[in-house]
Amino acid sequence: MNGMADVRVLGSQLLHEMSEGVVGIQKRLDLHAGSGIRYGEPVHETQIPYEYLRVESEAREAQAEVYVSVLADYMSKLDQQEVAGLISSSQHIELLKEEIHAILQSICVMRPEYAADCFGQEAAPGFYAASDVALSGDAGGSAEIVHQNQHRERSVSLCGMSLSTQKTKELGVEVDSVGRLISLGLELWGTKIGSCRVPDCVSPKPTEVGACDVCTGGCEPLFNRGWSLSKIVKHYRSLRGQSAQLIRKTVTFWDLFTDKPSIKNQNVRR
């Protein structure tokens, strides 16, 4: 079959024999793109190997389950308003777009590593900053950073529609505020096995991480005590420095018991 690679793959009879589903299709598309390609882009260390993709996808869905239920409840309210004739079909769509946009922003605060892919590289640093503030328990301050960072966001297209960033006139169904959604995430966000994003974190790798991509055993309790990210990093670096000094002192001490002749013995032999 002639034509583009994706057309040849999707039109292949082998599609019906593939047991890997979408993952198998993506692998075949990557093969057509050339060597060193994974998920349509050059292979890099942050990508998830094909064989682990389903497990990782399930873990991410479990973490974000809190927002799935929020969206389901919101859509139900919109449906009721439309059936009652209180909002039109187009207003239903606009309100839904606003809610999805707010939820995506909140998810990117909970998992800032998603921000670059979702809203673009320029917006990503703002979500990391908002995530740091959220960890201190200041959901309102975190939401304000997201709002100030919004002009850097790349437009997001979902299911054929561009998500709205402009607040629609009140129509009887209030869009969830980002601050409320962040508070909900901090309370109910699930955990997964991954890597803590705090530099110099002393937790095992991998370890259990929760909201905002920080480990639940080490960094999260420090954030809960009101420590800032910079204070935590300085703390860990201080611990590393103390450990290095201890190692040097220990090595120096055990040098006394090596097989090398001591200066005293060398003087005796002379």
At 62-102, the pLDDT tens digits run 778 889 889 999 999 999 999 999 989 988 988 998 999 99
Is 269 a member of any domain? no
Is 64 a member of any domain? yes
Is 23 a member of any domain? yes
Question: 34 and 142 share a domain?
Answer: no
- Ranking 30-44, 102-116, 237-251 by mean pLDDT, the lowest is 237-251
Question: 77 and 140 share a domain?
Answer: yes
Is 52 a member of any domain? no
Question: 87 and 163 share a domain?
Answer: yes
Question: 228 and 135 share a domain?
Answer: no
Question: 183 and 78 share a domain?
Answer: yes
Question: 162 and 72 share a domain?
Answer: yes
Of the three residues 148, 174, 189, the one that is the final residue of a domain is 189
Domains contained in the chain, number: 3
Question: 180 and 198 share a domain?
Answer: no
Is 140 a member of any domain? yes
Question: 163 and 114 share a domain?
Answer: yes
d(CA 100, CA 124) in angstroms, rounded, equals: 18
Confidence of residue 58 (pLDDT cuts 50, 70, 90): confident
Q: Could you tell me which of 70, 63, 146, 152 has the C-alpha nearest to residue 105?
A: 146
Residue numbers of the domain that contains 200: 193-256
Burial class of residue 118 (count of CB atoms within 10 Å of its CB; 0-12, 13-18, 19+): middle
Confidence of residue 147 (pLDDT cuts 50, 70, 90): very high
d(CA 121, CA 152) in angstroms, rounded, equals: 9
Report the mean per-residue pLDDT for the chain: 80
Burial class of residue 56 (count of CB atoms within 10 Å of its CB; 0-12, 13-18, 19+): middle
Res 263 pLDDT > 50: no
d(CA 100, CA 260) in angstroms, rounded, equals: 70
Given this model, what pLDDT does residue 194 score?
Answer: 86
Mean pLDDT throughout 202-225?
90
Question: 97 and 219 share a domain?
Answer: no
Is 99 a member of any domain? yes
Is 262 a member of any domain? no
Question: 145 and 249 share a domain?
Answer: no
Question: 200 and 240 share a domain?
Answer: yes
Contact present, 207 and 194 (Cβ < 8 Å): yes
Torsion of CA 69, 72, 73, 75, to 10 degrees: 160
Confidence of residue 48 (pLDDT cuts 50, 70, 90): confident
What is the dihedral sign for C-alpha 24, 25, 31, 37? negative
Is 245 a member of any domain? yes
d(CA 196, CA 236) in angstroms, rounded, equals: 13
Write out the two tokens for 24: 């198998």
Question: 157 and 80 share a domain?
Answer: yes
Res 128 pLDDT > 90: yes
pTM for the structure as a whole: 0.72
Given this model, what pLDDT does residue 151 score?
Answer: 93
d(CA 176, CA 102) in angstroms, rounded, equals: 7
